[in-house]
Structure 1
Amino acid sequence: MVIEWLTLMVPADWHERFIAADTAIWTHFLAQQPGYVGKQIWRNPAKPDELTLLIHWQSRQQWKAIAPTALAAVEQEFRQNLGRSFDIIAANEYQPLADGSISSQRPMAD
């Protein structure tokens, strides 16, 4: 598992339009790619003009296998749909080392 973490400057009054276009264009495209697991969009209440996208992939190899020309075409469609672009202020890659979710925890031995 690998997580693509993108933080973008998206004015708060653009959030609804951004998410709708992102879902229709980017998420639709990504969902067709081998290794795509899912995606979340988070809003930071302390920074209302930022959105963070977490894209989950089965492997880094599958994520990075997407052709740059395909990514550029999707980005162009996204920009045309919204009539503007949004600055990426952070782009990171994370690999989970532990899962602390309740469903993954085992009962402790006596």
Structure 2
Amino acid sequence: MLIERLKFKVAPNLRENFIYKYVQIWTIALAEYPKFLAKEVWISLNDHTEVTLIICWATLEQWKAIPQAYLQTIKD
């Protein structure tokens, strides 16, 4: 299994909205790929502006097989 870790700094008053939008956009899009296993959201207890996303993939090859053009359309 491969674990992707993404850290973001988000103003505490925007944190819940950030997490909601991330789930609505990225989690739904990534779930279309069969080797996407799971995602977790961690909020730091020490730094309320820090949000960490843990994304689990079956293999590095499967993660990297997602077309960049597709990822770009999600970002836009």
Q: Which residue of 1 aligns with 2:48?
A: 48
User: Deviation per CA, 1:14-33, whole angstroms, max 9, x where unpaired?
Assistant: 11111111111100001001
Partners of 2:33 and 2:19 in 1: CA distance: 20
Partners of 1:34 and 1:64 in 2: CA distance: 13
Matched, 1:15 2:15: yes
Q: Which residue of 1 aligns with 2:37?
A: 37
Q: After TM superposition, what 4+ stretches of structure 1 lie above 6 angstroms from structure 2?
A: none
Q: Which residue of 2 aligns with 1:91?
A: none
Q: Where does structure 1 lack aligned partners over 5 or more consecutive residues? A: 77-110
Q: TM-score, normalised by structure 2?
A: 0.94
Q: Which residue of 2 aligns with 1:84?
A: none
Partners of 2:31 and 2:6 in 1: CA distance: 17
Q: TM-score, normalised by structure 1?
A: 0.67
Q: Which residue of 2 aligns with 1:75?
A: 75
Partners of 2:47 and 2:18 in 1: CA distance: 16
Partners of 2:24 and 2:60 in 1: CA distance: 24
Percent identity of equivalent pairs: 36
SS state at 1:47 partner = coil
Q: Where does structure 2 lack aligned partners over 5 or more consecutive residues? A: none
Task: Give the count of matched residue pairs.
Answer: 76
Q: Which residue of 2 aligns with 1:83?
A: none
Q: Looking at CA atoms only, which structure, 1 or 2, has the larger radius of gyration?
A: 1
Q: Aligned letter for 1:6? A: L
Partners of 1:14 and 1:73 in 2: CA distance: 23
Q: Which residue of 2 aligns with 1:25?
A: 25
